[in-house]
Structure formats: structure tokens, C-alpha cells
Amino acid sequence: MPASFTFFRFDMASSADTFVNAEGQTLSLEFAIEPLVNLRRGAMAAVRIEPVVRHVRSGKLIPSTAFARLSDDDVGVIDRAAATFAANCSHNLSLILPLSFRTMAARRGRAELAAATSGSRDDLKRRIIVELTDIDRGTPAGRMTEVAALVGEIFRGVFARLPAGRDAMAPVQSARLQGLTLDASELAGTDSEAAGLLLEFAAQAKGLAPTLVAQGLPAEGYMAVAEVAGFTHAALRGTPEPMAESYRPEPSERRISRAS
């Protein structure tokens, strides 16, 4: 693997839109593009879309790990906006699109998001890989297997994003997934403890999917650790600049509809 990945950089790719969540708070929504690196080849293999959500009033960033606490309607707004954004991406590489398991588990949700990408069935099969999010140890394995199969009929492939920790693979043991993703954006502790989590996740995932992704790595140094642990691909998580007061969108501007 090359010694440096300095040319693979996070890029903010959209201006902020807003929506009002179930609690009456105005949130801003924009999207980042994260290059996905093939660790063995040291080359960009795909691009990832990552929603960036903030409270408009405070400018505080809501981490993706906290999306599970949003309502189904709020998550649906984010998913539909992500699918629409994906439809307008001009990248020729495969595109990894994170979508909530809650949304994709519903027939209406799958239909709406397939329509929102505005591509032909052949185009969806050719370039878009769905990364199911909001999966934890309590997700029913049988339902996970069923949803993965249904989503796989529409899109090129299906990944599942899982948390670090023991028994993380329980929901996906019987699902035939193309990839498993560790959300490494909140790796805590010392470097050795973070490396231990990468090693533990890779060991649990062995044999379950051909592609193993460490997504949201906090620093380039973890690329080499991820490769040694057994990950095939990785992406760095950039740190978005704080939202300047003068650039915060007014709640009435660029409003995202909650209805499809």
C-alpha cells in the first residue's frame, strides 16, 4: 500500500437545505463526497455520499450515529434527499448511497427511493450500491436477510453499516451482502484501543462478505492499520467547517418537503 493517501480528500458537495424535524427543530442538510480507497491497490474504487446534518440555531453537527434517534419521517426526509443527490452526481465510479434500514424495510420506501434516483433499472444496477444504516444488535436477522435481498433486486449491491463491539455481526449472519462497513468516525480511546476495535470487527466479519470497509476513519494513519486488520477498503472522514452565523440558512429558505 502506498505510504500516503493525501490526495484522497473529503469534499463538501452541496449547499445546505433545511427541514423541520418531528420535534419542531430546524435542521440543515448537505452532503459530502468521500473517496473510497482500495487498500491493496492504493487507488480510488468508488465514492461515498455522506449526509451532514446540523441544528440551524446552534450550528451543532449531528453525528450519523445519532440518526437512529430521529423519527422515521425525519430519516425518510434525509434518505429521499440523499437519493436525489445521488441521481445528480456526475462521478463515473460506483456510488455508495447510505440509506436507513427503516426506510428500505418498507415497500413504499424502496419504491420512493428507487424513483428518487431517477435512473433506469439498468443504471441503478450498474452504479449504485446501497449501504443500509441504523442496524444494531437488536435488528432481526430474518428481516435483515429479507430486506437485503429485496434491495439487491433494485441496486448493484447491498452493504450493511454496523457498530463496533461484540456480537456486531448477529443481524447479518444469514444475509448475502456484498460488503460490511464499520462506522469508524467515533473511534475513541488510545490509538492501540482504536486499532483493537478495527481488529475485532474484521475478525467478526471474516467470511461474511467479500468487501470490508472502514468508513469515516479519523486520520490517514489508520489506513495501514485497517489493511493489516483485514479491511479491503477505507474512507477518511473529513471534519466540516463550523457553520458560520452569516451563512446559516433561514428556516424558510431552501426547505425540503417532508412528503415525497
Ordered by where they begin, the domains of the chain are 14-239 (3.20.20.450)
Confidence band of 256 (pLDDT split at 50, 70, 90): low
d(C-alpha 132, C-alpha 157), whole Å: 11
Q: Tell me: pLDDT of 109 over 90.
A: no
pLDDT for residue 246: 34
The pLDDT of 213-235, averaged and rounded, is 91
Confidence band of 4 (pLDDT split at 50, 70, 90): very low
pLDDT for residue 255: 52
Q: Tell me: pLDDT of 249 over 80.
A: no
Confidence band of 184 (pLDDT split at 50, 70, 90): confident
Confidence band of 157 (pLDDT split at 50, 70, 90): very high
Q: Are 114 and 124 in contact (CB under 8 A)?
A: yes
Q: Tell me: pLDDT of 121 over 60.
A: yes
The pLDDT of 155-176, averaged and rounded, is 91
pLDDT for residue 145: 96
Lowest mean per-residue pLDDT among 82-96, 108-122, 160-174, 214-228: 108-122
Query: Average per-residue pLDDT in the chain?
Result: 82
